[in-house]
Structure 1
Amino acid sequence: MNQLKGTGVALVTPFNEDYSIDFAGLKRLIDFVILGGADYLVVLGTTGETVTLSSSEKKEVLRKCLEFNANRVPIVYGIGGNNTHALVEEINATDFDGITAILSVSPYYNKPSQAGIIAHFQAVADASPVPVILYNIPGRTMSNMAAETTLTLAQHSNIIGMKEASGNLEQCMRIAAEMPKDFLLISGDDLMTKAMLSIGGSGIISVLANALPETFKTLCHATHESQLKAAFSIIKLNELMYQEGNPVGIKNLLKHLGICGDQVRLPMLRATESLSSKIKAELDRMN
């Protein structure tokens, strides 16, 4: 799946002041990141505040993303959950026309065993008409997918990659050392991008690339020296992105760039004035 190497942008879902979806802002964002060098788009992932969207809103966001993208880059669709049966039913009811792959998060809250995680993803992969990218993010799911679990699932013909956001480089190295040749090991942490590439990773699914697509194009495709410079340039800004939760920081950054507003849906709150000032100051410094 060479088309899913490089920078995937975990798109935010822009909202108007009344919390309705800002489709004009979504179009500006998609145009901005594609022109900036994004290799593919990730629609309705964690950064898209998917858990606060209704079923009908999810369908409309996906439809609009497909329309605005106009086949310029591949689209990966976020579809996951902790009720395996319900998730398979949702997959069966979804129109995958125009979707290259799905990104499916490890079951959260239930805290299943490693065998349970394997059985869950095997059911998802069997049901999905498009390839599956696994997503390991223990900070949100409260359970880690061990390297052995990922390597077992990598043998499934319809599982093509893993977005690894455990922050455990040793675990990532074990996956990289034994994974199939065509398996995609994708960084789920912007600051880990360069490190992941160095051990055989294929790229990043990025939050900051919503605002800095050119920086992540450099991180994934440039020379070693340029990659290091790009990696060091985002350290402070990346820290600010998560001080009040994701996507609070990145939406505020996009507001400063004039791409969309910074409204989020409860229980998240938009960035405080203090955080907004820090983000603006760091953006000015980088510029």
Structure 2
Amino acid sequence: MSTPAPPPPPPPHGVYVPAVVFLDEHEELDAPAIRAHVLRLAQGGVRGILVQGSNGEAQLLSHDERTAAIRLTRDTLDTNGFQDTIILAGTGAQSTKETIKLCRDAAEAGAAYALVLTPSTWPTQMKQANIVRFFHTVADASPIPIMIYNFPTVTAGIDLDSDTLLAIAQHPRVVGTKLSCGNVGKLHRVASALPASEFAAFPGKSDVFLQGLVSGSAGVIGALPNVAPKAHAHLLKLYGEGKLAEATKLQALLGQSDWELGKLGSIAGIKAIVSKHFGYGAPHVKGPLAPLLDEEKVANAKLEELIALEKSL
């Protein structure tokens, strides 16, 4: 009788970034800009890159484009000496079958973990038992471990509570969660209920990065590291060294910058800021999203302060 395989480990502690996917004027993947961005993020100290998160416009890309973006990211990391940088892949879809296919495609393209959204076309059908069944079915079939992606903004307001998250987490191949709801109390409940060696709870916003660490999070998976990966890695270092006053001061800047970035429209805003300050890519997005072409709107005192810090680190 064979011994069952041990459950897979969760993603290691660190800064993760849902990378934007750069496009050309025809809304096709801009491979040189994507490579430049992935390399800057890795050099900036991120532990992993989430490809096809919400910031990666996953729901607006074809299956082939999603797979190509993962493969391009893995190749860029590997050829530049960042073989240990982890790829998470967003595999959210509206049906169980398509979600499983996206998990399989992501694994084949080089992802180590799949980040799965709650289906939301029929929100009234998504009661707790059905949500748990969905995640467990996907976890059974996925060749890579899965994480729960809770983002009410893009799931018709469905907001998984801590009881539901903990019920889903009973599956041994469900190894973490990204809480883009920004609820630190929920994060604390989940992180304190499960061993860190088995389950990683991440806030999905930089404005609660430090608060999440205090509450037992595994780091952060946030949009703002697209702009300032080094600043986020620096906060993690300060916290690890017990320099709470310095970490708190930096957290204030991250929180203010995260708020300002959101007001710019996040995805288009990130691309416009990166293009302006780091010299690659353009603010093209997939329709029906709108590009941010007004240079004056990109100018923001807090974001400029964060970028100055980023360039000094």
Q: Give TM-score scaled by structure 2 length.
A: 0.85
Task: Tell whether 2:308 aligns with 1:278.
Answer: no
Which of residues 224, 230, 236 is equivalent to 1:214? 230
Report matched runs for 1:60-209 at 5 Å.
60-70=68-78, 71-92=83-104, 95-96=107-108, 98-111=110-123, 112-141=126-155, 142-182=157-197, 183-209=199-225
Which of residues 7, 30, 36 is equivalent to 2:15? 7
Partner amino acid for 1:133? M
**Secondary structure at the residue paired with 2:144?**
coil
8 A contact 2:70–2:110 mirrored in 1: no
Q: How many residues align?
A: 286
Q: Matches of 1:92 and 1:234 in 2, distance apart? A: 35
Task: Tell whether 2:33 aligns with 1:25.
Answer: yes
Q: Matches of 1:214 and 1:244 in 2, distance apart? A: 22
Task: Tell whether 2:47 aligns with 1:39.
Answer: yes
RMSD between aligned residues: 1.9
The CA deviation at 1:143 is 0.5
**Secondary structure at the residue paired with 2:263?**
coil
Quote the residue 2:4 is aligned against: none
Q: Matches of 1:47 and 1:204 in 2, distance apart? A: 15
8 A contact 1:154–1:180 mirrored in 2: no
Q: Matches of 1:94 and 1:217 in 2, distance apart? A: 26
The CA deviation at 1:43 is 0.8
Q: Which residues of structure 2 form unaligned runs of 5+?
A: 1-8, 309-313
8 A contact 2:206–2:255 mirrored in 1: no
Identity fraction in percent: 24
**Secondary structure at the residue paired with 1:75?**
strand
Q: Give TM-score scaled by structure 1 length.
A: 0.92
| Per-residue Cα deviation, 1:44-85 (whole angstroms, up to 9, x for no partner) | 111011112112211211111111010241111111122113
Q: Which residues of structure 1 form unaligned runs of 5+?
A: none
**After TM superposition, which residue ranges in structure 1, 4 or more long, deviate above 6 angstroms?**
none
8 A contact 1:3–1:39 mirrored in 2: no
